[in-house]
Amino acid sequence: MRGLHLVPANTKVDFISKRTIFYIFSVFLIVASATLFGSKGLNYGIDFKGGILIEVKTPEPANIGEMRANLSGLGVGEIALQEFGSPNEVLIRIQKQEGDEKAQQAAIDKVKQKLGDSVEYRRTEFVGPKVSQELLMSGIYAVSAAILAILVYIWFRFEWQFGVGAVIALTHDVLTTIGLFALTGLEFNLSTVAAILTIAGYSINDTVVVFDRVRENLRRYKTMEMAELLNRSVNETLSRTVMTSITTFLALLALYLLGGEVISGFSFAMIWGVLIGTYSSICLAVPMLLLFDLRRRSEEEKNQDVQPDFSGADGD
């Protein structure tokens, strides 16, 4: 019984010859992401911006417009309301108040007095400016440390060309994810940082699978042209890459559609991460090896002491 093959076994797609197109497309994505980040910025959540968050549940489907009108005259600054998961669950965001914790509590009390006891208060959170700044910097440090650790790991496991190519592809994935959030205006919070770190792990896993095949083929095909060898390596792992990406994508799509607002940002970032990570592993990381002049010599020297000598095998 034969297994399912979404990609034919003897696929021979010439990815390497199209590398210039891939480079131009990737540069466009990075420039567009940087432009969007600089012009629009990110819609930072309460984790990074600070402020008050109140989650309420109404007996019947909530009238967001009426609730917004009732709360707009409280004098607590900007108030944002949105449906959260179901029609009778509402998330109320209030900008950070001038003053200490007492000022924040006063704003919460005003909202509760206006809404009364007709709603169920499910969650009330306040994040101060110092905590939000610390969380933002911790998120930046976490992503930077992950990329640096991956560079060191790939460098020691393979060669420096592999490490640099993997980190360029990984940085590309992170920057385009940030650009996507700037474009869509989706809330950027701690769960988004968790998604970016998960994307980094997923993307590097795909890349290492292809790199392993490249290293194996470097030992196997001593005279094959490097571009042909890289193409062969990508095509030999293409079926596995596509199957993994599709199954992960389907699971994430189910989470995005059925998981509710709580994890919608995380699952949306992960869906993009699977798509862009698969693209960068195949179309960016591997062609970079050719750009950085990967040679067999380093592999041969590295494995010279383990090569068997059969010169006198038939002499006895």
User: Over the stretch 182-211, which tens digit does the pLDDT of each residue have?
Assistant: 998 888 877 888 888 888 888 888 888 888
Contacts 24+ apart (CB under 8 A), 266-272: 266/191, 266/192, 266/194, 266/195, 268/186, 269/177, 269/180, 269/181, 269/192, 269/195, 269/196, 269/199, 270/195, 270/198, 270/199, 272/176, 272/177, 272/180, 272/199
Q: How confident is the model at residue 2 (pLDDT cuts 50, 70, 90)?
A: low
* DSSP annotation of 120: E
Question: Which has the higher per-residue pLDDT, 297 or 151?
Answer: 151
In the prediction, which pLDDT does 218 show?
Answer: 82
Mean pLDDT over all residues of the chain? Answer: 79
Q: Write down the CATH superfamily of domain 16-42+132-302.
A: Multidrug efflux transporter AcrB transmembrane domain (1.20.1640.10)
Q: Where is average pLDDT lowest: 87-91, 171-175, 244-248, 257-261?
A: 257-261
Q: What does DSSP assign to residue 125?
A: E
Q: Using one digit for the tens of pLDDT, what is the confidence trace for 140-169?
A: 888 888 878 877 877 777 778 888 888 888
Q: Residue 187: which H helix or E strand, with range?
A: strand 187-188
Asked if 204 and 171 touch (Cβ cutoff 8 Å), the reply is: no
Assigned token pair, 243:
């199957």
Q: What is the DSSP string of 40-60?
A: T--EE-HHHH-EEEEEEE-SS
Q: Give per-residue burial for 84-120: e unless 16+ CB within 10 Å, then b.
A: beeebbbbbbbbbbeeeeeebeebbeebeeebeeebe
Residue 123: Cβ within 10 Å count: 11
What digits encode the pLDDT tens for the residues 212-237? Answer: 888 888 888 878 888 888 888 888 88
For 292, what's the count of Cα atoms within 13 Å in the CB-facing half-sphere? 16
Q: What is the tens place of the pLDDT at every residue in 115-146?
A: 777 788 888 877 665 666 777 788 788 888 88
- Does the pLDDT of residue 56 top 80, yes or no? yes
Are 242 and 9 in contact by the 8 Å Cβ rule? The answer is no
Residue 175 has pLDDT above 70, yes or no: yes
Domain 51-127 has what CATH class? alpha beta
pLDDT of residue 7: 63
Q: What are the structural domain ranges in the chain?
A: 16-42+132-302, 51-127
Distance CA 155, CA 158 (A): 5
- The distance from CA 53 to its chain's CA centroid, rounded to whole angstroms, is 26
Work out the pLDDT band at 271, boundaries 50, 70, 90: very high
Core vs surface per residue 220-235: b (16+ CB within 10 A) or e? eeeeeebbebbbbbbb
Are 32 and 179 a contacting pair, CB within 8 Å? yes
pLDDT at residue 314, as a whole number = 46
Lowest mean pLDDT across 162-166, 259-263, 310-314? 310-314
Distance between CA 170 and CA 284 in Å, rounded? 10
Strands 51-57 and 86-94: antiparallel
Residues 200, 205: Cα–Cα separation, whole Å: 9
Give the SS3 label for residue 313. coil
How far, in Å, CA of 209 to CA of 239, rounded? Answer: 12
Beta sheet of 79-84, edge-to-edge order: 79-84, 86-94, 51-57, 120-127
Distance (Å, whole) CA 180 – CA 168: 18
**pTM of the predicted model as reported, rounded to 2 decimal places:** 0.72
